[in-house]
A and B are shown apart, each in its own frame.
Chain A
Amino acid sequence: ILNVEQSPQSLHVQEGDSTNFTCSFPSSNFYALHWYRWETAKSPEALFVMTLNGDEKKKGRISATLNTKEGYSYLYIKGSQPEDSATYLCASLTGTASKLTFGTGTRLQVTL
């Protein structure tokens, strides 16, 4: 993996569904992995910063895991709500701690 890649590109779920997204990143010279939520007409908002292999972080119904050896992270949303509708971005600090490289994001739409 040379770049940060996210899948799926978009996702449409019903309220109450649980969902997860994948982020793949270069695993060599890894420093940190960031997750952001970007709602329409707003600025990206930081969700998590993870650095250690096996790290797991949680904020309310949202949680994330990190595997630095194989270069992937998962973001989970439990019991999706319409207000969770946003684009979820992951970004890695790899090779340097001064260049945060973003994936193209997963666009989540939650309907009633």
Chain B
Amino acid sequence: KAGVTQTPRYLIKTRGQQVTLSCSPISGHRSVSWYQQTPGQGLQFLFEYFSETQRNKGNFPGRFSGRQFSNSRSEMNVSTLELGDSALYLCASSFDSLTDGYTFGSGTRLTVV
């Protein structure tokens, strides 16, 4: 079966711009989570969506937002980019987080210059 697909794989943006990242989960997975990884940091939780509803949000500024569509695909948006937003952004989907592990995408490497 197809895995979790994230696009684009790489992105270079300028400070102040905005960016939208996309994630297509595994078919049948309704939960999609987003994580940020920066050097020296673990995976930092951004938000989780289930059936188009944001169920949980991490400790990130309001510049970070997301949404989920009826087909479970999810997008995350970062507005007014800062240099510190440079990171690997990972999306993960699951069917049931209490029994199944998350399946991760390959990530989007965002560089802000």
Give A86 to B44 CA distance when docked, in angstroms: 19
Q: Shortest Cβ distance from A35 into chain B, in angstroms?
A: 8
Q: Which B residues are in CB contact (< 8 Å) with A101? A: 45
Q: Which A residues are in CB contact (< 8 Å) with B58? A: 99
B101 contacts A104, C-beta separation under 8 Å? no
Q: Which B residues are in CB contact (< 8 Å) with A48? A: 101
B42 contacts A104, C-beta separation under 8 Å? yes
Q: Size band of the B side of the interface?
A: 20 to 34
A100 contacts B33, C-beta separation under 8 Å? yes
Q: Shortest Cβ distance from A78 into chain B, in angstroms?
A: 21
A98 contacts B43, C-beta separation under 8 Å? no
User: Can you identify 20 A-B contacts, CB atoms within 8 angstroms?
Assistant: A31-B97, A31-B98, A32-B98, A34-B102, A36-B102, A43-B104, A43-B105, A44-B102, A45-B104, A46-B101, A47-B101, A49-B99, A89-B42, A91-B43, A97-B98, A98-B55, A99-B58, A100-B33, A100-B45, A100-B102
